Amino acid sequence: MSFKKYEAYKESGVEWLGEVPNHWEVSLLKRRYQVTLGKMLKSNQTSPNETEEFYLRAANIHWRGVDTIDVKRMWFTPEEKNKLKLCKGDLLVSEGGDVGRSSLWNNEIEGCYIQNSINRIRAREDADTRFLFYWMSFIKHADYIDMICNKATIAHFTVEKVEATPCVYPPLEEQKQIAAFLDKETSKIDTLIDKQEQLITLLQEKRQAIISHAVTRGLDPNAKMKDSGIEWLGEVPEHWIVKKLGYIATKIGSGKTPRGGSKVYLEEGILFLRSQNVHDTGLILKKTETVYISEEMDSEMSTTRVRPGDILLNITGASIGRTCIVPADFQPANVNQHVCIIRVPKDLQCYLSYFLKSVFVKSQIDAFQNGASREGLNFEQIAQIVLCLPPSSVEILEIVNRVQNDLRLIDQLLAKTESAINLLKERRTALISAAVTGKIDVRNAI
């Protein structure tokens, strides 16, 4: 799709924005919008005129829309309800956490309010919150919001910072045309992204099925089987051994937080691995999720240093159960307390790294979690994980080689699919940027 440009441009007066169409205005957000911060969390009723009402938190706010699956209640006075009630078309912007993340409110819940982790933005006049939603997406991806929010401590996109945000103001009808165009085009892109993400889910399921079958049934379809004695495991090859991980591992232990906590993280030095780096497909070292510590700090934490061949297992949080092996040629690294180091004999490293990815181990980990508390895995539970393995190192190697070969194509398809998603997201970001900054004229594109 090709677009024409506007006939004439002028300097915006904002260094990072550059030129904008001649007939557009550039001013602060507060000139045309009202910004209101939500109420501090209140768990108890303190006045008889308070009523318990639904409210949104930053966790409910997502770029793809408001998540109403888990909406909580708290107490509001009539004055607070009058001030903080949401109306259709309000723009909700995260004040903390992932600062600037935004959603448009479409009256998903009748009678809903906001906590003080959300800024509510409401148009005064000659302004459209749908257009502002895309403007927020643009300045978020352009790093403006992260730049003005002090991320050295805890980032906050305060009312004052929101109000002082530079905005472009095309004529109101043009704002609506740009928003409608982006609604249509980003919806197409989002549909393609959804399909690619569904493919990733299917590939991941196929990947786990390949692993699970190989490490519990072996390669010989005619092998005699026996009851493992474990309900979730069922039958295994007759000559295989069923053991608990604690009888095999020479080390089961986690890392720790460095002295000084996150304040000692560096942009270079000794790699410091965290749970966001540990994935079932291997260690992932994205620039935004990778940190380092000094050699001095690494020396203080020598007992939690990882070695090539170690198996890493996430033991807390949403990524609990994700696991991978440390590659043979891996650089020196340390690890934090949310990751368990499992050290086993060399001839079992690859096989057990696969076994810990199997659906059977994932089931055991789920069973270890205690209902709603889900405090994480402890070392005793990890030692109790039941495994089955061939007694012969030759058969173990054959299984490892077969799994590696079978996964090669799956992993190539996963990489290509993830690359396609990244390209689609880049396309989406570029389209929004071009439309809301006036680099392209979309007034007649719908």
User: Averaged over 419-429, what is the pLDDT?
Assistant: 97
Q: What is the pLDDT of residue 44?
A: 87
The pLDDT of residue 151 is above 70: no
Q: Which of 306, 304, 308, 413 is nearest to 350 (CA)?
A: 308
22-36, 51-65, 109-123, 149-163: range with lowest mean pLDDT: 149-163
Q: What is the pTM for the complete model shown? A: 0.83
pLDDT (0 to 100) of residue 183:
97
Give the chain's mean pLDDT.
Answer: 92
Q: For the chain, which residues make up each domain, given as ranges?
A: 25-169, 241-389
Instruction: Express as a percent the part of the chain with pLDDT over 70.
Output: 97
pLDDT digits (tens, 9 = 90+) for 1-21: 678 999 999 999 999 999 999
Query: What is the structure's pLDDT at 372?
Result: 43
Listed in order, strand segments (DSSP E) in 77-117 are 91-94, 102-104, 112-114
What are the tens digits of pLDDT across the range 251-265? 999 888 888 777 788
In sequence order, the β-bridge partners of residue 34 are: 122
Q: Which of 187, 155, 168 is nearest to 64 (CA)?
A: 187
Fold classified for 25-169: Adenine-n6-DNA-methyltransferase TaqI; Chain A, domain 2 (3.90.220)
Residue pair 112/101 in contact (Cβ under 8 Å)? The answer is: no
Q: Do domains 25-169 and 241-389 have the same CATH topology?
A: yes
- How far is the C-alpha of 96 from the C-alpha of 234, rounded, in Å? 48
Q: pLDDT tens for residues 356-399?
A: 999 999 888 888 875 444 568 999 999 999 999 999 999 999 99
Specify the pairing of strand 241-244 against strand 61-62.
Answer: unpaired
Quote the pLDDT of residue 373.
46
φ and ψ at 77, to 5 degrees?
-80, 165
Superfamily in which the 241-389 domain is placed by CATH: DNA methylase specificity domains (3.90.220.20)
- Give the pLDDT band (50/70/90) at residue 332: confident
